[in-house]
């Protein structure tokens, strides 16, 4: 199971199949949606950025079986992690930084 399904449910995977081919930036402008609120299907989604980061982590073949969670605060991606995820944390941060709409990435240990 990948990050997208683990964190947001299998129904979000279906949105990927129906996603428009336009860029996130074009969709945001077209629908007057902030970049961080554009969902997987191009519609408004409060967790749009976090879901797109979760999909990007899946696309980068980062294991969804490690203790790593994705959230967002506005346009800041928050990666919360357990010690078992430390080996993939730098790669996950790089992937998150590359997702359109992310202005910063914060990694917070799960305590």
pLDDT band with cut points at 50, 70 and 90 for residue 18: low
pLDDT digits (tens, 9 = 90+) for 59-87: 999 988 889 999 999 999 999 999 999 89
pLDDT band with cut points at 50, 70 and 90 for residue 17: low
pLDDT digits (tens, 9 = 90+) for 28-66: 888 899 999 999 988 999 999 999 999 999 999 998 888
Q: pTM for the full model?
A: 0.90
* Residue ranges of domains in the chain: 3-109
DSSP the chain: --HHHHHH-THHHHHHHT--SS-HHHHHHHHT--GGGB-TTSSB-TTHHHHHHHHHHHHTT--TTSSEEEEEETTEEEEEE-GGGHHHHHHHHHHHHTSTT--EEEEEE--
């Amino acid at each position: 199971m990948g990050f997208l399904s683990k964190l947001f449910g299998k129904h979000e995977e279906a949105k990927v199949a129906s996603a428009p081919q336009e860029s996130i930036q074009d969709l945001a402008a077209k629908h007057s949606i902030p970049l961080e609120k554009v969902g997987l299907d191009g519609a408004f989604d409060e967790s749009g950025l976090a879901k797109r980061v979760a999909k990007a982590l899946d696309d980068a073949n980062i294991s969804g079986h490690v203790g790593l969670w994705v959230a967002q605060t506005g346009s800041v991606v928050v990666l919360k992690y357990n010690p078992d995820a430390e080996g993939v944390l730098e790669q996950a941060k790089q992937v998150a930084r590359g997702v359109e709409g992310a202005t910063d990435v914060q990694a917070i240990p799960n305590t």
